[in-house]
A and B are shown apart, each in its own frame.
Chain A
Amino acid sequence: MSSSKIETTDGAVAEYVTAVIGGQLFGLPISRVQDVFMPERLTRVPLSSVEIAGVLNLRGRIVTVIDMRARLGLARADDGKPPMAVGVDLRGESYGLLIDQIGEVLRLPEESREENPVNLDPRMAKLAGGVHRLDGQLMVILDVDRVLELAADKMAA
């Protein structure tokens, strides 16, 4: 699904920006990542769903910030550390995905990508476009389009 969105260099290698959310390592296709920023002066949006952390002004653009922990069904962060945000664009609109910690950029061979394990948490599985096995840990590939598929009626509730 997301493989089509990934820019491959030698045809077999994909680059990922890695991020930790709730202790789990995730990878975002580098082609989708605009920037990484510290979310400041976040304005909450009343009546919106819990997954929307709020909106903020990033160099004159209004960015809708998505709380990835809520999106993945994880508990709120309680370590008191300021979160980071990964900026992505979708159809001309800017979004920021709240993550706990940003990691390095990884170049991974395309063929080592594996399908989602069948027993992956369904909320995570919905947003995952496969996994990569790294040394000692798994990296879940985040499908940015699916992350941004927020059902309007669900939010209205």
Chain B
Amino acid sequence: MDDLLREFLTETSESLDTVDNQLVRFEQEPNNAKILDNIFRLVHTIKGTCGFLGLPRLEALAHAAETLMGKFRDGMPVTGEAVTLILTTIDRIKDLLAQLEANESEPEGEDRDLISELEAMVERGMAAMAAGEAAPPLVPAAPAAPPAAPAVTQGSLIDQTLERPLRPGEVSLDELERAFRETAIETPPAHEKAPEPKAAAPAPKAEPAKVEAKAEPKAEAPKKAARAKANADGEVHENDKVANQSIRVNVDTLEHLMTMVSELVLTRNQLLEIARRNEDTEFKVPLQRLSNVTAELQEGVMKTRMQPIGNAWQKLPRIVRDLATELGKQIELEMHGADTELDRQVLDLIKDPLTHMVRNSADHGLETMAERAASGKAEQGTIRLSAYHEGGHIIICIADNGRGLNTERIKTKAVANGLVTEAELEKMTEAQIHKFIFEPGFSTAAAVTSVSGRGVGMDVVRTNIDQIGGTIDIKSVAGEGTSVTIKIPLTLAIVSALIVEAGGDRFAIPQLSVVELVRARANSEHRIERIKDTAVLRLRNKLLPLMHLKKLLKIDDGSSSDPENGFIVVTQVGNQTFGIVVDCVFHTEEIVVKPMSTKLRHIDMFSGNTILGDGAVIMIIDPNGIAKALGAAGSASQAVADEHAAHHAIGGEQLTSLLVFRAGTAQPKAVPLALVTRLEEIAADKIEISNGRYMVQYRDQLMPLVQMEGVSVQTSGSQPILVFADETRAMGLVVDEIIDIVEERLHIQVSGAKDGILGSAVIKGQATEVIDVGHFLPMAFADWFIRKEMATEAQTQSVLLVDDSPFFRNMLAPVLKSAGYKVRTAASAIEGLATLRSGHTFDIVVTDIEMPEMNGFEFAEAIRADQNLHQLPVIAVSSLVSPAAIERGRQAGLYDYIAKFDRPGLIAALKEQIEERARADAAKRAA
């Protein structure tokens, strides 16, 4: 292909993309002369170049469109119809360009239809203008102004240019004219009408336009326009300068450069390795310099590959506009962070998925105007695109305020597609169910529209994202909208990695997914524990599922594998956190990712390989692959990972980690894992009988053992026990067998008639008794709950306990009662408020935070706002303890914020609050 032609095609398609965007904006701000100027100039350039290259069809079409736009500039009213017509024309131009690219020659044919329509539009507009004198006359303010050409005259001038294409070097008449006008007239009338660009940007909300594109990159458009206003001469210079400052470089050249830099980084690493071995060499200093230069060079080359994500968004306003028209919806497209930069290669790969997801949102995410009105929403739906950097990743979010995912339909479809059974579905959270839309062939759109619903889509999106080592997550609330979050690495070529050893081999773990490193030792705070065959680490009160890298990779040499020691690389993939146990951790190194050989690419534990500084090849671990293996290994591991997500799940979906065991009966029993301090297996011969009770020496103390009904203490072998402990004492509950740890939504269905049983719940499809720990603790120490710091006056204090979960009500109420408080419970914040206002007096309120309808913060605010209750202390108990939540609690007027299972903490907080209040009352009485 002719170089000139290729250049033209590249340039033109870029210009056209810009025009598309500008037009959509123009439709909303028809009076913004600056936008119009930009569009006009672009189309004009296309026209000019076409003439130069001898492409008559394209030229005629561009010309007709330009003429119409020229009229708009002269004040002809812009109608939606006209914009549609111009968009159609531009589509045709694109079409012609595509054929031109394929065949290297302009296709045969005629565009008379469009051209006459465009001309007709001009005629009509002119007529309307002439009739209504809509065109404001130019203000002959500046003395240097040429005779102000009335609109009609100008029209005829443009007609002249119709006759033949411009020759190279020729300047079109209207270009000349514009130059005059811009030079001479400081304030053309259009400017008076148009708000300044700064004001224009926020204005669109008020516009009745159908689509609204708030594209940040377009902020440069007003800038350009402002420049145009300045001075035509100046503009030319400036343009020249800009043109001279940037050059087009073939992508292959850049790719090659990148490869070379990668090689350089490798060589540098090798040299550094040699220098590390040989102390005091004279190479050290120059090598250091080389190292720095290489790093800078690497950064520089990476920069050449960076492009703003806005490039991938460019087509979206147009797509959304067309969809809105086609579907009869009002859609606003918001774009934030369009200047966020990422690697070209990555950008290319996410372009299509992004477009697809925006289409999805417009098509089945957002409701029709009627539906929106019926559900009390604004008629105009919003799609919000945002991008930002976060720790070496770029996060892209596509959110709409539409109807949300239809969970029921996804369920039906998932079962129909054989992805899951009904029984399994029962146990899944809504978030887990929503993930099915990423499965192949999964489209829930009832009707296949031209837009989407063809059963290809989200799986392809996920595949693309997976390919570049990204993760995708979806959140949806029925009636409120859906948001998809994509997290992708900034670049794929060079990554920082942690070099570890397992089974005698070294591996690289990408630093990006590493959260922290933990050294586990027996008898330390961080200890590897074992629940059946699952290794877990208790880290800051969370159980972390562990995977031994060497077992995962089947390279376990069996040597020096101390089950309780090891380095744990805490890794996060999506919202799944887990620990990878390795034998040794070396250092971090910038590694150049080399793709795996095609013969090895099927091993999904590795994402590639690399050459280390010492010249050895090592495998790069793919945390996604490990996460997958983990998911397959058991539900227990999933539990912790989903815990975080579960907190955010919608009302009542909260998951609880439960320890399932067998004691006495054949029916399994369960206890919330968070209540259990440790799981132990004690040798039967260590169990002693003292004072008629079973005891065991445990951590230099005598720990009483309590048997559940029907459980007999083992006389040989080992005895599994659950250890419950607080600061000073511990007791062991003797059980027959520890079965599993599961993550369940806990619905206690039948309240227990037996002592020590809170009730029954279905866990893993089996009826399971949930035990009441509060019943067993006093069996070991009769005074377990009655501590000496519990003053007896507590007896008279009354507590209102608000929690939507019957389980926690049942668990906390006895705890409080045994601590000497009078307890009344409420199942919701609303019920709690009603109780408070019904005349009962309470000394203190203990409330859960995550509750449907009204959450704990709102509840506390409501109490603060009530003049009768505003002094009532409120303590929150929550499984969601984060600094942000605590801060939020403080703002809401919570006196204290306690972790849900922190029994002593709760008791202490209650005591403190009540004492404080007593002191305050005493002070008041004294005064």
Contacts and interface: CB of A to CB of B under 8 A. Distances in A.
Interface of A: 41, 43-48, 52, 55-57, 60, 62, 64, 91, 93, 95, 148, 150, 152-153, 155-156
B598 A93 contact: yes
A86 B784 CA distance: 75
* Closest CB pairs A-B (n = 10): A46-B553, A64-B597, A152-B602, A43-B617, A55-B617, A47-B603, A57-B611, A46-B555, A57-B617, A150-B599
B255 to A, nearest CB: 14
Contacts of A46: 503, 505, 553-555, 603, 605, 619
A59 to B, nearest CB: 10
Contact of B505 (A43, A93, A153): A43
B258 to A, nearest CB: 15
Nearest to A66: B599
B609 A48 contact: no
A41 B616 contact: yes
A60 B267 CA distance: 9
Interface in B374-412: none
A65 to B, nearest CB: 10
B263 interface: yes
Contacts of A52: 599-600
A30 B746 CA distance: 70
B639 interface: no
Interface in B176-211: none
29 contacts: A41-B615, A43-B616, A43-B618, A44-B555, A45-B606, A46-B503, A46-B505, A46-B555, A46-B603, A46-B619, A48-B600, A48-B603, A52-B600, A55-B597, A55-B600, A57-B617, A60-B266, A60-B267, A60-B611, A62-B611, A64-B600, A93-B597, A95-B597, A148-B599, A150-B599, A152-B602, A153-B602, A156-B602, A156-B603
Nearest to B597: A64
B594 interface: yes
B605 A62 contact: no
Query: What secondary structure prevails in chain A residues at the interface with B?
Result: mixed
A62 B619 CA distance: 11
Contacts of B554: 46-47
B505 A44 contact: yes
Nearest to A90: B598
B597 A57 contact: no
| Among B503, B602, B603, B615: residue with most chain A CB under 10 A | B603
A55 B600 CA distance: 10
B523 to A, nearest CB: 32
B599 A62 contact: no
B263 A62 contact: no
Given A62-B594, A62-B617, A45 B603 contact: yes
A55 B605 contact: no
A155 B602 contact: yes
A60 B592 CA distance: 11
Given A46-B505, A47-B603, A152-B602, A60 B263 contact: yes
A148 B600 CA distance: 12
Interface in B281-332: none
Contacts of A57: 611, 615-617
B251 to A, nearest CB: 19
A47 B609 contact: no
B616 A47 contact: no
Contacts of A156: 602-603
B506 to A, nearest CB: 8
A63 B609 CA distance: 11
Interface of B: 263, 266-267, 503, 505, 553-555, 594, 597-603, 605-606, 609, 611, 615-619
A152 B553 CA distance: 17
A44 B555 CA distance: 10
Contact of A56 (B503, B605, B617): B617
Given A52-B599, A60-B266, A60-B611, A47 B553 contact: yes
A61 B613 CA distance: 14
A56 B602 CA distance: 19
Given A44-B505, A47-B605, 11 more contacts: A43-B505, A43-B618, A44-B555, A46-B503, A48-B599, A48-B600, A55-B600, A60-B263, A60-B266, A62-B611, A156-B602
Contacts of B553: 46-47
Contacts of A55: 597, 600, 609, 617
A96 to B, nearest CB: 11
A114 to B, nearest CB: 31
B62 to A, nearest CB: 43
Contacts of A153: 602
A52 B598 CA distance: 12
Contacts of B615: 41, 57
Nearest to B550: A46
A113 to B, nearest CB: 29
A45 B600 contact: yes
A97 to B, nearest CB: 13
Nearest to A92: B598
Contacts of B505: 43-44, 46
A87 to B, nearest CB: 14
Contacts of B599: 48, 52, 64, 148, 150, 152, 155
A86 B598 CA distance: 19
Contacts of B267: 60
Nearest to A42: B617
B497 to A, nearest CB: 15
Contacts of A56: 617
Contacts of A155: 599, 602
Contacts of B503: 46
A62 B592 CA distance: 12
A150 B598 CA distance: 10
B842 to A, nearest CB: 62
A14 to B, nearest CB: 27
Contacts of A44: 505, 555
Nearest to B615: A57
Contacts of A152: 599, 601-602
Contacts of B598: 91, 93
Contacts of B602: 152-153, 155-156
A55 B599 CA distance: 11
Nearest to A55: B617
Contacts of B617: 41, 43, 55-57, 62
Contact of B609 (A62, A91, A148): A62
A93 B611 CA distance: 16
Nearest to B616: A41
Which of B605, B618, B619 has the most A CB atoms < 10 Å from its CB?
B619
Contacts of A150: 599
Nearest to A40: B615
Nearest to B612: A57
Contacts of A148: 599
Nearest to B503: A46
Contacts of B600: 45, 48, 52, 55, 64
Contacts of B606: 45
Nearest to B553: A46
A6 to B, nearest CB: 24
A62 B605 CA distance: 18
A93 B597 CA distance: 7
